[in-house]
Amino acid sequence: MALVKREQLPQAVEGALAAAPVTDLHTHIYSAAFGDLLLWGVDELITYHYLIAENFRYTGMPFAQYFRLGKKEQAELIWQNLFLDNSPLSEAQRGVLTTLKRLGLDVAPRNFAAFREFCSSFTAGQYIDKIFATSGVKTVIMTNDPFDARERAVWLAGGHGDKRFQAALRIDPLLNGYDQSYLLLREWGYAVEKRLDAKTVEEIKRFLREWAQRMKALYMAVSLPPTFAVPEDSTRSRLIEECVLPVACELDIPFAMMIGVNKRVNDKLGDAGDSVGKSSVRPLEYMCEKYPENKFLVTMLARENQHELAVTARKFRNLLVFGCWWFMNNPSLVEEITRMRLELLGLSFVPQHSDARILDQLVYKWEHSRRTIGKVLVDKYSDLMATGWTVDEAELGRDIAGLMGDNFWKFVGKKPL
Ligand code: FIX
Ligand code: ZN
């Protein structure tokens, strides 16, 4: 393969990013087998909870009045407030337009009806194919919650067969709400008590084992508040150390922690009402050190935590840092964090996940991320070449394929699916 010249770097990096198959390791999208759990199309795209939050900055409409509207009316209201009455400069606003453009639609006429007509010409299955082809994403990992009745029914009926969609066992109700969720476990035949006695611990491990195997889950995951602590005298801390980590180790799958969410600071906004808080990395140091056979996938929500998270990863090879999560997923912060991670971790991290809740978002979230990550990589390879080091196309392709997915698959010890 030819050596890359410094002046060719922008084109070479852009080409390698475009060619690298993406594994999107955390999303909220579903294969067609999950029915209405899969959100897709322009009305869903424009009523994304990020845009709901932004919408209320421009209107005094009572929150409940908005949520009583039908989906189409909600979409038309947001289109008016966030696109027609105010230029759509935010990341989530621009994302809608990037997606529509990449799907071949002309946004200049601002003809919302035309966007709807385009989407209505697809079935869910056809649209999944279209979005995967347009976004360059090869595999997405879902967020699979066995406590969600609709989702539970799909898995108990045999699951789904679309290998583009891999599973992650999401256990927030177990870890963050055991005093309620244990009643469901009992309903499902697990002999658990509210108090974590020895039998209960074993039955919770059985629940985790059975569901991780049923889903063929690539990892177990939870989102955690800024106050998250392990060890501490709490049910959550005991469940993690006595149930989650032993089963994760037994099944050789990572435990993914998404740390720093302050849930429902404005409850009237629903999913749009969550916020952020600075967390501690002490629990990560404790778990990575005490459980060297366990693997930990971690992303944190506060900008202030990003540096110490990267430093923690330098200390523990069983910790893989991933993504620019939620309020971090904006070009200015993706650039800052990716630059810092490359400087502290080299290539040993996963720079991005989409957190897509609507299928269509794969297009813009990855288009925007490739552009920002590419900009940082050009700088870093340029700095490298300034030392006299040479880089050939194959090495560049190898490095970038690692960032876009191979690093994750190596960490979980599986071949890319
Ligand atoms: O906990 C999570 O998986 C978060 O990503 C979501 O709760 C959040 O609403 C989201 O989609 C952020 O991008
Ligand atoms: Zn998420």
Q: Which atom of ligand 1 is nearest to the CA of 170?
A: 3
Q: Which atom of ligand 1 is nearest to the CA of 325?
A: 13
The pLDDT value given to residue 336: 99
Residue nearest to atom 9 of ligand 1 (CA): 271
Q: List the chain residues with pLDDT less than 70.
A: 1
CA of 28 to the centre of ligand 2 (A): 6
d(CA 345, CA 352): 15
CA of 8 to the centre of ligand 1 (A): 38
For residue 165, the domain's CATH number is 3.20.20.140
Question: Can you give the chain as a three-state secondary structure string?
Answer: CCECCHHHHHHHHHHHHHHCCEEECCCCCCCHHHHHHCECCHHHHHCCHHHHHHHCCCCCCCHHHHHHCCHHHHHHHHHHHHHHCCCCCCHHHHHHHHHHHHCCCCCCCCCHHHHHHHHHCCCHHHHHHHHHHHHCEEEEECCECCCCHHHHHHHHCCCCCCCCEECCEECHHHHHCHHHHHHHHHHCCCCCCCCCCHHHHHHHHHHHHHHHHHHCCCCEEEEECCCCCCCCCCHHHHHHHHHHHHHHHHHCCCEEEEECEECCCCHHHHHHHCEECCCCCHHHHHHHHHCCCCCEEEEECCHHHHHHHHHHHHHCCCEEEECCCHHHCCHHHHHHHHHHHHHHHCCCCECCCCCCCECCHHHHHHHHHHHHHHHHHHHHHHHHHCCCCCCEHHHHHHHHHHHHHHHHHHHHCCCCC
Q: Which atom of ligand 1 is nearest to the CA of 172?
A: 1
d(CA 68, CA 80): 18
For 264-286, what is each residue's pLDDT tens digit?
A: 999 999 999 999 999 999 999 99
Position 122 in a domain:
yes
Instruction: State which of 50, 52, 326 you would mutate to test the pocket of ligand 1, scoring each by most atoms of that ligand within 8 A of its C-beta.
Output: 326
CA of 263 to the centre of ligand 2 (A): 13
Residues that place a CB less than 5 A from ion ligand 2: 355
List, as own/partner pairs, every contact residues 97-100 make where C-beta atoms lie below 8 angstroms and the sequence separation is at least 24, other chains included.
98/363, 98/364, 98/367, 98/368, 99/45, 99/360, 99/361, 99/363, 99/364, 100/42
Q: Which residues pair with 140 in a beta bridge?
A: 24, 165
For 246-259, what is each residue's pLDDT tens digit?
A: 999 999 999 999 99
Q: Please state the domain count of the chain.
A: 1
The pLDDT value given to residue 96: 99
Position 161 in a domain:
yes
Instruction: State which of 141, 274, 333 you would mutate to test the pocket of ligand 1, scoring each by most atoms of that ligand within 8 A of its C-beta.
Output: 274
Query: Which residues form ligand 1's pocket by a CB distance below 6 Å?
Result: 28, 143, 223, 258, 271, 274, 326, 355, 357
Position 140 in a domain:
yes
Position 417 in a domain:
no
CA of 169 to the centre of ligand 1 (A): 15
100: domain range?
6-412
Residue nearest to atom 11 of ligand 1 (CA): 355
The pLDDT value given to residue 286: 99
Residue nearest to atom 12 of ligand 1 (CA): 326
What is this structure's pTM? 0.98
The pLDDT value given to residue 368: 98
Chain centre distance of CA 56: 25
CA of 26 to the centre of ligand 2 (A): 6
CA of 355 to the centre of ligand 1 (A): 6
The pLDDT value given to residue 100: 98
CB within 8 Å of 7: residues ≥ 6 apart: none
Cβ burial of 378 (10 Å; 0-12, 13-18, 19+) is middle
Position 368 in a domain:
yes
Position 85 in a domain:
yes
Position 1 in a domain:
no
Instruction: State which of 48, 355, 364, 368 you would mutate to test the pocket of ligand 1, scoring each by most atoms of that ligand within 8 A of its C-beta.
Output: 355
Q: Which atom of ligand 1 is nearest to the CA of 261?
A: 1
Instruction: State which of 26, 28, 330, 361 you would mutate to test the pocket of ligand 1, scoring each by most atoms of that ligand within 8 A of its C-beta.
Output: 28
